């Protein structure tokens, strides 16, 4: 059984090296980080909800008309604005805008490792929060095609990991992925989810 206390502990592990967890879900041949021009910056929120033993994480499927990463599964989040005090504020503001909820009651549990996304040239700062009960969602149709709540426990199950063929601008590509809520989750979101899963597995022993 995974509890909220387990998640808190997982996010504060001393001397945890996320490298292996992140690389194992990264597409082969993933581009190196470019320094110029300076990457854009974004914050995302892995929003947990539910009771101990039944925790879920909110995922969205991006609208098909978006310029970047359209149709992909993701965390709520987006580009940092000049008046955002920090990346936590960015993540909460974007989650509120995308899901149509007030995020003032979200308890931030910790952060995952910042991640560079080569195709869109973004540095992404992921945070893990908790909100219970989850209010009715009113997703913004301009940004969100659908919302799912994936089981956190499922992230630790080997059967949820697979190799999937996805279509990219360069043609079909085989990538590591999760199958969650009957959706293929790959790329940056899968990398971040896998870091969370490995952290939790380390706590559970």
Cα-only R_g, the chain: 16
Block means of pLDDT (10 residues each) for the chain, length 205 residues? 98 95 86 82 98 98 70 92 97 97 97 92 96 96 95 97 86 92 96 98 96
Burial of 163 (0-12, 13-18, 19+ CB in 10 A): exposed
Structure token pair of residue 107: 């308890």
pTM higher than 0.75 for the full model? yes
Structure token pair of residue 25: 């879900």
Residue 66: per-residue pLDDT: 59
Residue 68: per-residue pLDDT: 54
Give per-residue pLDDT as tens, 12-56: 999 999 999 999 999 886 767 777 899 999 999 999 999 999 999
Residue 29: per-residue pLDDT: 66
């Amino acid at each position: 059984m995974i509890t909220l206390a387990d998640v808190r502990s997982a996010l504060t592990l001393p001397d945890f090296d996320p490298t292996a967890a992140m690389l194992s879900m990264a597409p082969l041949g993933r581009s190196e980080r470019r320094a110029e021009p300076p990457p854009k910056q974004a914050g995302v929120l892995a929003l947990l909800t539910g009771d101990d033993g039944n925790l879920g994480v909110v995922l969205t499927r991006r609208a098909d008309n978006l310029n970047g990463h359209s149709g992909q599964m993701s965390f709520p989040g987006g580009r940092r604005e000049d008046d955002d005090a920090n990346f936590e504020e960015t993540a909460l503001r974007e989650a509120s805008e995308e899901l149509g909820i007030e995020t003032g009651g979200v308890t931030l549990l910790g952060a995952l490792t910042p991640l560079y996304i080569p195709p869109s040239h973004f540095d992404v700062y992921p945070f893990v929060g908790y909100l219970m009960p989850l209010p009715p969602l009113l997703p913004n149709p301009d940004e969100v095609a659908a919302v799912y709540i994936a089981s956190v426990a499922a992230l630790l199950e080997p059967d949820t990991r697979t190799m999937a063929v996805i279509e990219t601008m360069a043609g079909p590509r085989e990538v590591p992925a999760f199958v969650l809520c009957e959706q293929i989750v790959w790329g940056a979101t899968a990398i971040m989810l896998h870091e969370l899963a490995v952290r939790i597995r380390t706590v559970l022993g």
